[in-house]
A and B are shown apart, each in its own frame.
Chain A
Amino acid sequence: MAEKFEKLSPFHWRLSRRMHRAMKADAEIFASEDILRQALADASIEQVINVACLPGLVGNSLAMPDIHYGYGFCIGGVAAFPADNGLVLPGGVGYDINCGVRLMRSSIPLAVFKPEAENVGHAILQRVPSGLTVRSNYRLDKKGFLKIVHEGAGEIVRNFSGQAGDLDQIESRGCLPFDDPGVVSAKAFERGDSQVGSLGSGNHFIEIQAVEEIYDEAAARCFGLEKETVAVMIHSGSRGFGHQIASDYIELFRKKNLGRFKLPDPQLVHAAVDSREGRNYLQALNAAANFAWANRQLLMEEVVAIMERIFAAGRGALGLALVYDQAHNIAKFEEHLLAGKMTRLLVHRKGATRALPPGHAEIQAAYRAVGQPVLIPGSMGSRSYVLAGTVGGAAMTFSSSAHGAGRRLSRHQAVKLAAGSDVREKLKSDGILVFSFSNRALQEEIPEAYKDVDDVVEATVASGISRKVARLRPLVVIKG
């Protein structure tokens, strides 16, 4: 199979539609030779090809450098369809709708933070609901919950906590249009309202990190990142609310698709964007996306309150401010340049990050000159990166980029590598304090279970889809 790929550059590969009768578009992979080989081994390339077989695809079926096996789309998959008469696919978004990452900077010097690291980690673990337990610090009635899913992060900033300027630093200002609660099932509401403000489990985390290296001084200054200061990264999604919406609509689309198509994967069920089912799914998806943005805003505010208490100073004095918040499981209407003309498309990103280039009108004024921040977390023992969107990336990937390292080992294999307490001790010896109620979670998330994020970032940068701005080192990790 590898020999069928045309090497467009050392980090950009193309499989022509001529290679497979059912392909309606080419498949393009942004990856090193090594990553491409891994993708061929885990059958994720097959999933990129399956997407290339869908009717109406605009451009090609794309995969980012953190490509790995998913359901329907591969993780790292990007596909665009016409906004007016194209397709929408829940399998192109994933179950955790608007799973995403947020980065908050501070002016707290590393030397000032370190003596309090244990206290900060412990306080976050105690305060923020995490893991499988259904618990929320916020008791909301149906009306209160509806406000959150209507208004997203804005509702939190206005009526709970936050800064008005935060909304400028969130993709789509933390809110997508939603005005029809009837498109969301009672079960989804039931699962969602008990989880507001919770972190979740698995690979979701809150990390206190040190800004370790700056690669692009101008961009880092623009994002407010200063070497040897402390930053906070949060990774979470739409919790049970989004999972239920995805399940509900996969079920509905499946019924509608039955007998009409022989899909290569039943997870590729879809609807026309302009059909009733398609419109309803997009509305429900927006509700889940808004929930996730509101949730990450609440999680950040919990950390702000803890930092203010422990360092006995206000957020202004501590320089605590949101750098950026972005989705990496989403489908959104966006305008992209196609054959010299701005065209409205429905862009699906599953395990992929939006990465707008410098000068793009949708980027807030403060960042416009350098491009949109792109956040790429590593595993709990490895570095995370801040990158920025590029003009080249905009042309090649509908302004998309990688979203993380991706697993290398199954959870079962990972658990066999070390006891949870050993993971904790090993990371402590590397200067990383880990907090979790679950030893099992630590075993499953052991750094060795993940691919090397440096390889993913190298491929992302070398392929030209983003450029490096800063590297962050974990100091304190809170795992669900």
Chain B
Amino acid sequence: MKKYEMFATTADVGIRFCGRNFAELYENAVAGLNGLLFGEAKGTPADSGARRFSFHGDSAENVLVNLLAEVLSLVYQKNKRVTAVVCRRADESSLDADLRLARIDGEPGLDIKAVTYHKLQVVEKNGVKRASIFFDV
């Protein structure tokens, strides 16, 4: 089971990702977004603290969009990338986690304007949750 894969449409980009539970699903979504922004480089950048992300929404889709929007905000506004999502609690409509951060050297490879709800639906098959997210570039 591949944690995530990236795809591209003519105008934009996206990620497909999966997880055996909600915590893993959310973590892999962040890993996929990192893949789009920074490539699939080996090694972990030096840690530069953490930020608490606590969100209670109406669905896993709602959590995913808000989590990834937070990651983008950290990248473009604070020049920080999320290196790990340490979950305190994760379920189908909420996430309470520490986002481990690292300072970005240089620029991300892509300017993503927004996370969209386009065709976003978390589906479960054989105990694995899967979703795709499109980003507006």
Q: Which residues of A contact B (CB under 8 A)?
A: 42, 68-72, 75, 94-96, 131-134, 187, 190-191, 200-202, 240, 243, 246-247, 250-251, 254-255, 258, 265-267, 269, 406-413, 438, 440, 480
Total interface residues in chain B, CB < 8 Å: 30
| CA–CA, A254 and B115, complex, Å | 14
Give Cα A201–Cα B111 distance, bound, in whole angstroms: 7
B43 at the interface (CB under 8 A from A): no
A134-B77, A258-B58 given; A71·B8 CB < 8 A: no
Binding site for A on B (CB under 8 A): 8-11, 13, 58, 61-62, 65-66, 69, 73, 76-77, 107-111, 113-120, 134, 136-137
Selected contact of A411 from candidates B8, B61, B77, B113, CB within 8 Å: B8
Which of B66, B118, B134 has its CB near the most chain A CB atoms (within 10 A)? B118
Cβ A410 vs Cβ B114 within 8 A: no
Whether A71 and B58, one on each chain, are in contact in the complex, defined by CB atoms closer than 8 angstroms, is no
Check if B109 sits within 8 Å of A95, measured CB to CB.
Answer: no
Can you report 29 A-B residue pairs in the complex whose CB atoms are below 8 A from each other?
A42-B9, A69-B9, A69-B10, A69-B11, A71-B118, A71-B134, A72-B118, A132-B76, A132-B107, A191-B76, A191-B77, A243-B114, A246-B114, A247-B115, A251-B65, A254-B62, A265-B118, A265-B119, A266-B117, A267-B118, A406-B11, A407-B10, A408-B10, A410-B9, A410-B10, A410-B11, A411-B13, A411-B110, A412-B13
On chain B, the residues within 8 Å of A95 by CB distance are: 113-114, 136
Inter-chain residue pair count (beta carbon < 8 A): 84
Assuming A202-B111, A406-B11, A411-B137, what are 15 further A-B pairs, CB within 8 angstroms?
A42-B10, A70-B11, A72-B118, A134-B77, A191-B77, A200-B111, A202-B137, A243-B136, A247-B114, A266-B61, A267-B117, A267-B118, A410-B11, A411-B8, A480-B111
Known A247-B115, A258-B58: A190·B77 in contact at CB below 8 Å? yes
Residues in chain B near residue A134, CB distance under 8 A: 76-77
**Given A132-B107, A243-B113, A255-B58: A75 touches B77 (CB 8 Å cut-off):** no
> In whole angstroms, how far apart are the Cα atoms of A408 and B13 in the complex?
14
Distance of B109 from chain A, by nearest CB (Å):
6
A430 to chain B, nearest CB (A): 24
Q: Please measure, in the bound complex, the distance between the C-alpha atom of A187 and the C-alpha atom of B70, giving whole angstroms.
A: 11
User: Do the beta carbons of A132 and B115 come within 8 Å of each other?
Assistant: no
Task: Please report whether the interface of chain A is mostly helix, strand, loop or mixed according to DSSP.
Answer: loop
Do the beta carbons of B11 and A75 come within 8 Å of each other? yes
CA distance A298 to B66 in the complex (A): 33
CB–CB B10/A240 < 8 A: no
Q: Are A71 and B116 neighbours in the complex by a CB distance under 8 Å?
A: yes
Residues of A with C-beta under 8 A to B116? 71, 267
Q: How far is the CA of A132 from the CA of B137 in the complex (A)?
A: 12
**Contacts of A267 on B, CB cut-off 8 Å?**
116-118
Chain B nearest CB, measured from A348 CB (Å): 17
Complex Cα distance, B76 from A95, in Å, reads 16
